[in-house]
Structure 1
Amino acid sequence: MALRVVVVDDSGFFRRRIVEILNADIGIEVVGTAANGLEGIEVVKRLNPDVVTMDIEMPVMDGITAVRRIMAESPRPVLMFSTLTTEGARATLDALDAGAMDFLPKRFSEIAKDEDAAKVMLRRRVRALARTRHQALSRPAARERPSTHEPELTAPSARRAPVSATPLHSLRAVLIGTSTGGPVALQEVLKVLPKSFPLPIILVQHMPASFTPAFAERLNNLCQIEVREAVSGDVLKPGCALLAPGGQQLVLEGGAQTRVRIQENPPGTIYKPSVDITFQSAVTALKSQVLAVVLTGMGADGREGTRALQGQGAHVWAQDAASSVVFGMPAAVIDAGLADHVLALKDVGPALVKGFC
């Protein structure tokens, strides 16, 4: 049975283009369209699609308001289309806070260099989000409900090979990698941490270059710890989270002080920034004195970097399937037997506090 999609956009040209691209996949069917957010809400109620694609700026009702209404009245995965500007970044982050699960640039040339590759990526995102529809039903409530119990650290069924793990009190940094669903997940994790959190944190989130400054600013405003976009030469310091800039790579360099270096992408790099590249650089810079955390995301970025860290004795946590928007990146780590513990998203922040504060 084909996945059912509703497309909401005020541009007739863009609606037709998205419909054509999605309907070219035999497993996807666009069952309805709408020209503004208010109309989109009604179409979604009437047609009950698996996924909704949504523009942000529209007449009558904007996409952010429409997402908030859809998630309150008939929750389901929503994919936003955004302009890659500073204001577009802020609006997209607002849409993710409202309940949207993922976003793509509205200009296809900004999704991939090749138009056919961009079309494949759009179809892949829609398919991935359709698989998460059952999770959308509980997401808004889960975000607002604080954790009031001890964090549960569950050992995965596929245990990693025995390695002499470094004691928690000897760790020098926390590395967190994520993709689809990551902006909301990182907010939930980092808001729990006190200003006195004793370790530096490195954040790698798949995100365009124009989005990471606004995202770092948002996290900094929401959290007690300091959060900012990383620049070359930054020294890792306790209670400070550095976000890898979009479109480039963050690597760690050892020495008397561990520093950040921002570099261009190696040929053939898919993810910009890449969790694997950052994690693998930590093997030399920090060796085993790391906690690597892999959160929600599509694909397997982070698995090989985690494998290299785990081989040194680093600690590895992964988010569980039930709380992941897309159980791709954490599943890759768990299935490879690399995770020490599997946690629900609501338990990650409290577990960090319990382990290090």
Structure 2
Amino acid sequence: MGIKVLVVDDSMFFQKRISEILKPVASVEIIGFANNGKEAIEKAQSLKPDVITMDYEMPVMDGLTALRKIMEVAPTPVLMFSSLTYDGARVTLDALDAGAVDFLPKNFEDLQKGGPKIRETLSDKIQSVAKQFNRSPKARFTPIQTELDSDKRKGESQPARPARQLESKLDKPLASQPKASATSRFEKNTKQDTRLPTLDLIVIATSTGGPVALQKVLSQIPASFSKPIVLIQHMPATFTQAFAERLNKTCALEIKLAEDGDILKPGRALLAPGGKQLLIEKSKVRVIDGDDRVNYRPCADLTMASAAKHYPGKSLGIVLTGMGSDGCEGAKLMQQTGSPIWAQDEETSVIYGMPMAVAKAHITSAILPLQDIGPTLVKEVR
């Protein structure tokens, strides 16, 4: 029996197309449909699916309300279908806060055409979530508390490309540096070394599960934090502006969608825009279009490689929850210059892919639960 999927959408066309697209995928089995949020809650309990795909605009009960209830009564990995608009981004971010694992663009043109590409995208997402999803309540199912309508709280505390190929995408290769000793932190019960050298920059990379993880980490950092931060989150271009605004409202730090030439300064976090590449230079960032040779836009490997070049031994790389291994090759370059690398632990990761990659590469100096990353960062930088 394949991965059991419940499709929740009020559109019969959408239900039919999803069924047709996934029918050839032997490892995925659609076990039912729900036409509204109320039916979704009932079928989540009775059918016990492995994954739920959820629309948010439905009669009787909307998807967001249903999602919150499902997280209470029958916790299940949920993939939200979202329109690629600013309003769609805001609703999707609400859904991620409420417990959804990830989202998929609801593009009717793509659905009508079908074909191998959308089948691969949809089936890969479903299979990855079902296979790797960590059902621990530490990783998911606890809705994050947000204060989007309140004043900002000031003062509160794909396969990776080889590292040498990343260097070739920068203006000049990295200077030759002696390789720092790499102690494995992948084995359990290994002592953590969170001590930091003198730093000038923090780089945080994440993907699936990242919007909630970033919000939890950044909300624990005060406005007086003395180092600049760069954020790499895999996200469509139409979503990153809404995400930056959301973070800026809920965190004490100044959080801004990065623009070409933005200055790196204390108390500010720059979020890489979707569909672009962010490169770090001395005291500022460059935002460029990039090209098809790189799997992700933004790509954590490229950003971290540029940090290794311009801040050798003076930056901290932090890799959070996410599918795949983006960030691992860039983190290797950072670590080779003497910069420390932290990773989120498996128990609190929604998807233990990206942090596992750096842990298995034996380049981490510490593997930490999500709730400890912000406070430890503040303590050690101070």
TM-score by length of 1: 0.90
The residue aligned with 2:44 is 44
RMSD: 2.3
**1:344 maps onto 2:375 in alignment:** no
Give the C-alpha shift of residue 166 in structure 1: 12
Aligned partners of 1:109, 1:275: CA distance in 2, in Å?
30
- Find out whether 1:7 has 2:7 as its counterpart: yes
* Paired letter, 1:140: F
Distance 1:166 1:345 in 2: 14
User: d(CA) in 1 for partners of 2:115 and 2:313?
Assistant: 42
- Could you list the runs of 5+ residues in structure 1 that have no partner in the other structure? 145-153, 160-164
Closer/same/farther in 2, CA of residues 177 and 114 from structure 1, 3 Å limit? farther
- Do 1:283 and 1:312's aligned partners in 2 also have CA atoms closer than 8 Å? yes
- 1:234 to 1:133, Cα distance in 2 relative to 1, 3 A: closer
CA–CA distance in structure 2, aligned partners of residues 134 and 336 of structure 1: 22
Task: Tell whether 2:141 aligns with 1:140.
Answer: yes
1:171 pairs with 2:199: yes
In structure 2, distance between residues paired with 1:60 and 1:316: 48
2:70 & 2:78 partners in 1: Cα distance? 9
The alpha carbon displacement at 1:3 in A equals 1.0
Cα gap change, 1:118/1:269 in structure 2, threshold over 3 Å: closer, same or farther?
farther
Render the CA deviation track for 1:266-301: whole Å, top value 9, x for unaligned: 232211110001111112221121100000000110
Measured in 2, the distance between the counterparts of 1:268 and 1:216 equals 27
- 2:299 is matched with 274
Q: Counterparts of 1:11-90 in structure 2 under 5 Å? A: 11-90=11-90
Q: Deviations over 1:184-221 (max 9, x none)?
A: 00000000001111110000000000100000000000
CA spacing shift, 1:222–1:71, aligned 2, 3 Å: same
Deviation of 1:247 (Å): 0.4
- TM (normalized to structure 2)? 0.84
Unaligned regions of 5+ residues in structure 2, if any?
146-182
Structure-2 separation of matches of 1:142 and 1:89: 18
2: CA distance, partners of 1:158 / 1:166: 16
Paired AA for residue 245 in structure 1 = P
Match in the other structure for 1:299: 324
Question: What's the secondary structure of 1:135's corresponding residue?
Answer: coil
Does 1:93 find its partner at 2:59? no
Counterpart contact for 1:75–1:136, Cα < 8 Å: no
Alignment correspondent of 1:248: 276
Q: How many pairs does the alignment contain?
A: 339
8 Å contact 1:109–1:115 — kept in the other structure? no
Secondary structure of 1:176's partner?
strand
Letter in 2 for 1:205: Q
Partners of 2:253 and 2:368 lie apart in 1 by 22
2:259 alignment partner, SS class: coil
Distance 1:211 1:87 in 2: 9
Matching residue of 2:185: 156
**Matching residue of 2:158:** none
> Which residue identity does 1:210 align to in structure 2?
T
Equivalent position of 2:262 in the other structure: 234
Q: For 1:285 and 1:114, how far apart are their aligned partners in 2?
A: 44
Query: What is the SS of the residue equivalent to 1:211?
Result: helix
1:112-156 residue CA offsets vs partner (Å, 9 max, x unmatched): x99422221211111121134552655234856xxxxxxxxx961
